[in-house]
Structure 1
Amino acid sequence: MPAASTAIQLALPAQVPAIAPAAPATAPVADTTTATVTPAQVEEQIAYPTLAAAVADQSIRSDAGEDLRCLAGAIYFEARGEPLSGQLAVAEVILNRTRSHRFGGSACEVITQKGQFSFVRGGRMPAAPSNDDWRTAMAVAKVALKDAWESDAANALYFNHRRAGHANGVRVASIGNHVFYR
């Protein structure tokens, strides 16, 4: 979930406007020139004005971990044409399943569990191409793993395509072409 910050100015790409909260006229100004800030404090204080800004701020390394790649693969194959909020919601379902331990203990175990995702064949995910949609999926996966943005499907454990009809469970959200349930 985004946290409020007044100590750090986030540098966003030029296409994403920064939105800074207005400070009261009588607010004291802190001298930050001598303050020591640890990397953990920086991570805690970063707030994003939009999900697009959070996604745009993610660097993608070629040596990404297996769970990040699995999560990005699921986002890519399940939701690459969906809005960013829908892609994040798909990631949230997978992470919720991981936390529940009923579906597997890692994102890769959840995704490759038999019969859960139609793109998985023989317990393996297909290779994703190196394109803009893949880079977006990797960035959304990083946002989800960092819990850097609140998803509309925060409590969902299931989702299906809107055309598949209603699934059992309580409807949590409908985003793009997917419906999310818990």
Structure 2
Amino acid sequence: MSRILNTASVAAVGMTAATMLLLAEPGFASDLAADANLPALLAPSAPAPVATDQADLSIEANAPVADISKNDDQTPAPEAKPTPVTAESLAALVAATPRPADIDPELRCLAGAVYFESRGESLPGQLAVAHVVINRAESGRFPKSLCGVVHQKSQFSFVRGGKMPAVREGAQWNNALAIAQIARDGSWKNHAPGALFFHARYVSPGWRKTRIAQIDNHIFYR
């Protein structure tokens, strides 16, 4: 009988201690459990590990990385400019300059001035005549277009009634077209730089202008 009473007493003490541990603060409960040699189940348990979804991790790990090297704004690349024709002499440059498939009106007016004013002159002389037309258009003192300069009244004697005569297709016209393109592109040195006027050397208009050069049968002024 006494053994049964002792067992009941121990059980009662254990229940009382357990109740006090549950009501006490966590720190206090831990100390009390250690001192009373209570079972480990009364001590605070460590937090349970969080389950990890391995499938999700593998998806994240294998996710594609953005390629920042790509041009996202889709800006078009600038057009490559045609390589300028080069030559060791003006004659070689004229020969290497292709005739355009379509001759625009401005080029036709410039080539017409070269053809009618200087087709019998040397190539440097023809180039100087072409540059006079271009210089006038850029000077602000004459019409702003090449055709306007060529067709200006009382300036070029070959223009009659405001019109240019018909040209004869052939080598001289092809040379005039090439010289006009070279002058417009500025791809060869002009031996009469800045000239705005010229006349044949067998006339004497009495101009009070600055003489720049004489090339073949023309004298150039500004």
Does TM-score exceed 0.5, indicating one fold? yes
Secondary structure of 1:163 counterpart: coil
- Is the aligned partner of 1:171 residue 2:173? no
1:95 to 131, 134, 141: 134
Structure 1 equivalent of residue 157 of structure 2: 118
Unaligned runs of 5+ in 2: 1-78
Distance 1:65 1:168, change over 3 A: same
Task: Note the 1:54-133 alignment, pairs <5 A.
Answer: 54-133=93-172
Long gaps (5+) in structure 1: 1-37
- Relative to 1, partners in 2 of residues 1:69 and 1:121: Cα closer, same or farther, differing over 3 Å? same
CA contact (8 A) 1:70 1:111 kept: yes
**Contact 1:71 1:94 survives alignment (8 Å):** yes
Looking at structure 2, the residues matched to 77 and 140 of structure 1 have their Cα atoms a distance apart, in angstroms, of: 13
Residue 31 of structure 1 is matched in structure 2 by none
User: Identity of aligned pairs, percent?
Assistant: 47
Partners of 1:153 and 1:172 within 8 A in 2? yes
- Amino acid of the structure 1 residue aligned with 2:152: Q
Deviation at 1:124, TM superposition (A): 1.0
Larger radius of gyration: 2
- 2:124 maps to a residue whose letter is S
Secondary structure, aligned partner of 2:164: coil
Amino acid of the structure 2 residue aligned with 1:167: W
For 1:26, the equivalent position in structure 2 comes to: none
Counterpart contact for 1:160–1:167, Cα < 8 Å: no
Query: AA paired with 2:216?
Result: G
Instruction: Pick one of 40, 43, 47 that aligns with 2:81.
Output: 40
**Structure 1 runs, 4 residues or longer, greater than 2 Å off:** 38-43
2:212 corresponds to which letter in structure 1?
Answer: V
Which residue of structure 1 aligns with residue 61 of structure 2? Answer: none
Which protein has greater RCO, CA pairs closer than 8 Å, 6+ apart?
A: 1
Q: Report how many aligned residue pairs link the two structures.
A: 143
Q: Distance in 2 between matches of 1:139 and 1:121?
A: 25
Paired residue type of 1:72:
A
- TM-score, reference length from structure 1: 0.75
Structure-1 residue corresponding to 2:47: none
Contact 1:160 1:178 in 2 (8 A): yes
Moved more, 136-145 or 167-176: 167-176
3-state SS of paired residue (1:179): strand
CA deviations 1:115-147 (Å, max 9, x no partner) are 000000111111111111111100100110111
